[in-house]
Chains A and B, each alone.
Chain A
Amino acid sequence: MLAEWISAWLPNVRLAPLLKATEDTLYMTAMAGAAVFVLGLLLGTALHLTSPGRLLANRPLYWALSTLTNVFRAIPFIILLVLLIPFTRAVVGTILGVNAALPALIFGAAPFYARLVELAFREVDRGVIEATRAMGGGIGTVVFRVLIPEAAPALVSGLTVTLIALVGYTAMAGAIGAGGLGHLAYLEGFQRSRRDVTLAATLAVLLIVFVIQFLGDRLARRLDKR
């Protein structure tokens, strides 16, 4: 049924490469997303705790972390991809394929998510943190039992936004050799003037984005007990 519909409306689109490209995009988004979640949470927590008036307030350290975050966030992703080529070659061993896209995806998105984490933690009521300290809780208790659970809906919403940004990044990475739907749209679709291929790749990206948004919203809503 799908195959018939495709051959009728999108004559140049073959299902196998489309599925493979979708799988590559999902793979890159998921792998980078997992790393971004962990690194962003770490960096965001460090940003939050060292910011003025917080538990580990430290102006020079906060300034250093903040600047690092801003620099990576400010570099346009397509330029970051090119800048990181030597690093990628050293770490991954190649600059082609889905794994070669991961370093740039992670460096591009982790600082973005870290800012969202910092923002989410800043919204946690200071009174609750004070109460935790008054009960004898230390930094570990504050981070793992107060900040993360209390900010969970915002952390999930932030991750949703980040994952959607990552889908966009994978498309750019695809254009310079990473594979995935961006690669399909650009090389097969644009350069060979097969508009139906570009259209199919776009529809696949849209579908992925909608599903991520839907699942993210649902989870955030479920976690929100306010």
Chain B
Amino acid sequence: MITLDQVSKIYHAGGRRIAAVDEVSLAIPAGRVTGIIGQSGAGKSTLIRMLNGLEKPSSGSVLVAGRDMGRASGAELRKARLKIGMIFQHFNLLWSRTARANVAFALEIAGIPRAERRARVEELLRLVGLEGREDAYPAQLSGGQKQRVGIARALANAPDLLLCDEATSALDPQTTDQILDLLSEINRRLGLTIVLITHEMHVVRRICDHVAVMEAGRVVEEGLVSEVFAAPKQPITRRFIRQTAEEGGFDPALAPPEGALLRLTHAAEGGEAQASAFSEAVLKLGLRANLLQARLIQTPEGPSGEIVAHLPDPSQARPLAGFLAARGIGVDILREA
């Protein structure tokens, strides 16, 4: 869907050369939710704006659905943008227009006739759960409702790609989760590709399939969320993981220094049977295992259970992993020695 090849964005300020984005190569899969996480100033904002040509790369190529967004301009670029929706941290709605008219704005730009616009706007506002608020002005809407208008507007022209620029950073935690769930649902129902940037680990955990970690303009680590966070290689990634630890996730730094660490995950459905598989394994294999943490977490597939276990004897890690995997339990070996 999206291929970035050796993409850089260089600024010159006061005689100094600043690389906002530095030689980034990245493949973003179609139909999935990909998160780009980084602290402010890491270059993620510049990177996401290259995907719809709001920023032009200084070098390298940005291919979106086969089109080079770095070289597209004029009418071609405007046409390409119709198929790339974008939502923003501060919503960026026109305050002079009602919710309905804000959504219609995207259709006006696409040249959709008035009669068609009307029906499409109703459908979109229903999709994002804003029935009854169609005639409200943005000033009369809450943050979450404004973002829903933003999402409806971004989806108006049936895009293949949705870009989310810190879309939940201005919202409270509860509203954040509602908006994230809406995005997740849209991804599943419409099958569109979502790329989001965030500095919040929680956002990546909750809805992303893939993640790329950015630091100082570079992508330092990327891959499936489950893999990257099971075995973080970079200090920055570990820092982000600690960020969720503070929100109740597991912090490997708190585990006993010796022995193996395993993270077991199971779907909430049938979770009881799977959870009992753990005690069964302990008895059958004659293990000594300590539970360090057990909790329920929200993932793109629904709620699931997570257990972190510590095995004082690391040689038992592989047999246990094999036993549990055979019963449909996800096993990440966080540490093997």
In the complex, whether A136 has a CB less than 8 A from a CB of chain B is: yes
CA distance A159 to B85 in the complex (A): 37
Report chain A residues within 8 Å CB of B96: 149-150, 152, 223, 225
In the complex, whether A23 has a CB less than 8 A from a CB of chain B is: no
Most buried by A among B88, B109, B138, B139: B109
CB distance from B212 to the nearest CB of A (A): 21
Interchain CB contact under 8 A, B86 and A134:
yes
- Tell me which of B18-26, B76-84, B175-183, B199-207 binds A: B76-84
CA distance A226 to B80 in the complex (A): 32
In the complex, whether A146 has a CB less than 8 A from a CB of chain B is: yes
Instruction: Choose from A136, A149, A223 the contact partner of B109 (Cβ within 8 Å).
Output: A136
Interchain CB contact under 8 A, B105 and A130:
no
CA distance A172 to B82 in the complex (A): 54
Closest 8 CB pairs of A and B: A131-B92, A136-B81, A127-B92, A136-B78, A134-B86, A225-B137, A136-B82, A149-B96
Interchain CB contact under 8 A, A127 and B105:
no
Report chain A residues within 8 Å CB of B79: 136
The chain A residues found within 8 Å of chain B, CB to CB, are 125, 127-128, 130-138, 141, 145-146, 149-150, 152, 223, 225-226
CB distance from A152 to the nearest CB of B (A): 7
Interchain CB contact under 8 A, A128 and B110:
no
Most buried by B among A134, A149, A225: A134
Q: Mark B87-127, 1 if CB is under 8 A from A, else 0.
A: 01010111111000000011011100000000000000000
Interchain CB contact under 8 A, A130 and B54:
yes
Given known pairs A138-B78, A145-B108, A225-B96, the reply for A133 and B90 (CB within 8 Å) is no
CA distance A132 to B94 in the complex (A): 10
Report chain B residues within 8 Å CB of A135: 81-82, 86, 105-106, 109, 153, 157
Total contacts A-B at CB 8 Å = 63
Q: Mark B136-151, 1 if CB is under 8 A from A, else 0.
A: 0111000000000000
The chain B residues found within 8 Å of chain A, CB to CB, are 52, 54, 78-82, 84, 86, 88, 90, 92-97, 105-106, 108-110, 137-139, 153, 157, 163
Interchain CB contact under 8 A, A137 and B84:
no
Interchain CB contact under 8 A, A136 and B110:
yes
Given known pairs A141-B109, A145-B108, A226-B139, the reply for A134 and B54 (CB within 8 Å) is yes
CB distance from B100 to the nearest CB of A (A): 13
Interchain CB contact under 8 A, A145 and B105:
yes
Interchain CB contact under 8 A, B54 and A146:
no
Report chain B residues within 8 Å CB of A137: 78, 109
Interchain CB contact under 8 A, B94 and A133:
no
CB distance from A143 to the nearest CB of B (A): 13
Given known pairs A136-B78, A138-B78, A146-B94, the reply for A127 and B88 (CB within 8 Å) is yes
Instruction: Choose from A128, A130, A138, A141 the contact partner of B93 (Cβ within 8 Å).
Output: A128
Interchain CB contact under 8 A, B90 and A127:
yes
Report chain A residues within 8 Å CB of B88: 127, 130-131
A-B contact pairs, 29 of them (CB 8 A): A125-B90, A125-B92, A127-B92, A128-B93, A128-B94, A130-B54, A130-B92, A131-B92, A132-B109, A133-B54, A133-B81, A134-B52, A134-B86, A135-B82, A135-B86, A135-B105, A135-B106, A136-B78, A136-B81, A136-B82, A145-B105, A145-B108, A149-B94, A149-B97, A150-B94, A152-B96, A225-B95, A225-B137, A225-B138
Report chain A residues within 8 Å CB of B139: 225-226
Instruction: Choose from B84, B97, B108 the contact partner of A134 (Cβ within 8 Å).
Output: B84
Interchain CB contact under 8 A, B92 and A128:
yes
CA distance A164 to B59 in the complex (A): 54
CA distance A141 to B80 in the complex (A): 16
Report chain A residues within 8 Å CB of B97: 149
CB distance from B147 to the nearest CB of A (A): 13
Report chain A residues within 8 Å CB of B92: 125, 127-128, 130-131
Report chain A residues within 8 Å CB of B138: 225
Report chain A residues within 8 Å CB of B108: 145
- Chain A: CB-nearest residue to B110: A136
- Chain A: CB-nearest residue to B137: A225
Report chain B residues within 8 Å CB of A130: 54, 88, 92
- Chain A: CB-nearest residue to B153: A135
Report chain B residues within 8 Å CB of A136: 78-82, 109-110, 157
Report chain B residues within 8 Å CB of A223: 96
CB distance from B120 to the nearest CB of A (A): 14
CB distance from A154 to the nearest CB of B (A): 11
CA distance A107 to B137 in the complex (A): 39
CA distance A138 to B86 in the complex (A): 16
CA distance A141 to B79 in the complex (A): 14
